[in-house]
Amino acid sequence: MKPDSKTVGVGVRGGKVAPGGEQRTSKAVVLIGFMGAGKTSVGRALGERLGWPFEDLDERIERRERRTVPEIFRDSGEAEFRRAEHEALSELLGELQAGSEQVVALGGGAFVQKQNVHLLQVARVFTVFLDADVEELWRRCSRQAEQLGVARPLLGNLGSFRKLCEARRRHYRKASFTQKTGGRTVKKIAAEIAHALGLSPSGKRGKKQ
């Protein structure tokens, strides 16, 4: 099942047109969501589909800080990470103002920070919330951490995971569009996002069928 399409330039929530949406002038699409939502994999697939470059904001943070995200959390704490995250996002959005087309994946807590939401609103980019059931997100994160041997700073037990996810979801729902990811392949999700936002390769906005 594909999500309801939206009129380009009008805010959308849950596949429905949200009142008061502003015309989006940037050609960027920013993916948000909780840990395990698939922001990086979907972002790469969407970038390939549109012919746009893809960037994971966490990777930019690591390049700027010259250490990994887990190392920043461990050695300097979350407040320092949020500072670095905000500066990296500000830098990236500044580059997008030159008119470049890009797909961007944000970390799970980035869209919760008011200063980051403000930056995104001023930049007038499309924001897409990748949503899934908490249990599915937990399985994905646990499987990934085990397979890669990568520590997730905020991956505790299922109870704390659920609590944090639900607290953040109310912020995620303020995105331009909500895309369900359950039962879909990465390519299918990317196709649905492109269709819903009226985007076609090379940044051209296609007509809805």
d(CA 32, CA 60): 16
Give per-residue pLDDT as tens, 49-64.
Answer: 999 999 999 999 999 9
Give per-residue pLDDT as tens, 154-197.
Answer: 556 788 889 999 999 999 999 999 999 988 899 999 999 999 99
| H-only helix segments in the chain | 39-50, 57-65, 69-76, 78-96, 114-123, 134-148, 158-172, 186-197
Please name each of the domains of the chain with its CATH number. 12-197 (3.40.50.300)
Grade residue 142 by pLDDT with cuts at 50, 70 and 90: confident
pTM: 0.82
